[in-house]
Amino acid sequence: MYFTMATRVGIAYLLNFSMMRIHEGWSLRTDCLEVEQDETFGPIYLLRGATTKTVDDDDARWVTSPSAQIAVDALTCVARLRMIAAEENPDVPTTHDDIGNPHLVLRPYEPWANAMNVGEELSLRLSPPNYQQVVVDYPKLFDPEALRITEADMQIASVAFCS
């Protein structure tokens, strides 16, 4: 459960700092983070993946925060650990691409996990949960009061919107 929680938090972090849609985030692979050096602005952090929002593009880019590096590193660590378990399981149909550059979000393949659908190809992606499901599944992860929109939040939003 800890690996799954870390994965969900990491993906949520990337979505919040890139404006990706959830399915785009769940299709990212471990090599998704790129850093371009710009003479004027310095390092620019980008996430690379597939999108179908306006056009089908397997090589789309989203600008993100430099702190996305931490999330990608954590997600990559969990994905690589899960791929080690997947490789050792003869029921999991891994490919060379899956092993060399896994998706950041994988099913649990750990021997102690209550793994489901381990015989499915890794290209068949999991259905992503919504934020509310993450809050329900991990009740100690977030303070529900910190997630609540307050009157002060509404005032800040109205000032920002009207400016």
Share of the chain above pLDDT 90, in %: 58
Burial of 71: CB neighbours in 10 Å, binned 0-12, 13-18, 19+: buried
Q: Decide which of 102 and 112 is more confident.
A: 102
Q: From the CB of residue 138, how many other CB atoms can be counted at a distance below 10 Å?
A: 15
Q: What is the pLDDT of residues 29-61, one digit of tens each?
A: 999 999 999 999 999 999 999 998 788 888 999
Angle, alpha carbons 96-36-9 (nearest 5°): 60
Question: What's the whole-number mean pLDDT along residues 71-79?
Answer: 98
- Decide if pLDDT at 163 tops 70: no
- Decide if pLDDT at 88 tops 80: yes
- b/e per residue 9-33 (b: at least 16 CB within 10 A): bbbbbbbebbebeeebbbbbbbebb
- Decide if pLDDT at 27 tops 90: yes
Q: Are 65 and 17 in contact (CB under 8 A)?
A: yes
pLDDT bracket for residue 133 (50, 70, 90): confident
